[in-house]
Amino acid sequence: MNHIIYSTHHQSGVIASICLFFLVSASIAQADGSFIDKVYHPYVQPHEREFEWRANIHKDTGKSEKEKSMNNSQLHRFAYGQSLNDCWSAELYLIGEKNKEHDFKITAVEIEALWQLTEQGEYSQDWAMLFEIEHERDTDVSEVSSALIIEQQWSKWVGTANLYLIYEWGSKIDNELETAMALQGRYRYSKSIEPAVEFYSSDGSEGIGPVLLGNIKLSGRKNIHWEAGVIFGLDRETADQTFKFLIEFEF
């Protein structure tokens, strides 16, 4: 009986959080800057640790000075993360950039936490919340964000949505509350390779494109998760192509 009461209260809390999220989202603007990066999934693997590298490389043939400076620019993220218990995981990122104006350098740090709200398969959708805090060293700009993560499976097809609320502040910018969205639809062809399509939308970027991802099983609990894809810009603010790569060593 206690388990039933807990499950009912837990589900009600999730529904209330979702309603609040969409009420707030409906009243604010969308996020600034390039948002093309990664689609998160709503699962925490107990007792897991990982090293992660991911990169975005922008290719743009625009004629404006802003678009020219974007061409061949790179954004790299290096991280260590681990699960804290059955429901929470945390990750620490060092973020570096390289463009025509300077060689590669570390420009920001980020702390990230994932909270798995439901057990996998408990309901028709799986739910989680993502929390991030980022500080940019050169511009003295900070950002805190939360995302509602929703995933549902239909046979071999899987759909995932990341819906973000973002607050940005700093001495040289206007403080803003914003939203953004990342979507993924993928086909579970095999554990080693899954074709997918991803869509990203914010005030500063909008794009869609194909992605391949998969897992390489190693000995024991060790595993390599990889992703590679290209996102094509749908507006003038977004690079013509954003090549995205990710490698996670899980152990």
The pLDDT tens digits of the residues spanning 45-67 come to: 999 999 999 999 999 876 555 55
Quote the DSSP letter at residue 120. Answer: T
Query: What is the per-residue pLDDT for 62?
Result: 65
pTM: 0.84
Query: What is the per-residue pLDDT for 14?
Result: 46
2-250: CATH number? 2.40.160.40
CA atoms within 13 A on the CB side of 212: 5
Query: What is the per-residue pLDDT for 17?
Result: 47
Query: What is the per-residue pLDDT for 68?
Result: 55
Tokens read off for 41: 């999934």
* Low-confidence spans in the chain with pLDDT less than 70: 1-33, 62-70
Query: What is the per-residue pLDDT for 1?
Result: 43
CB-based burial of residue 154 (10 Å sphere; 0-12 exposed, 13-18 middle, 19+ buried)?
Answer: exposed
- Position of tokens 């790569």? 245
Query: What is the per-residue pLDDT for 236?
Result: 87
Query: What is the per-residue pLDDT for 12?
Result: 44
Residues 6+ apart with CB under 8 A from 157: 185, 186, 187, 188
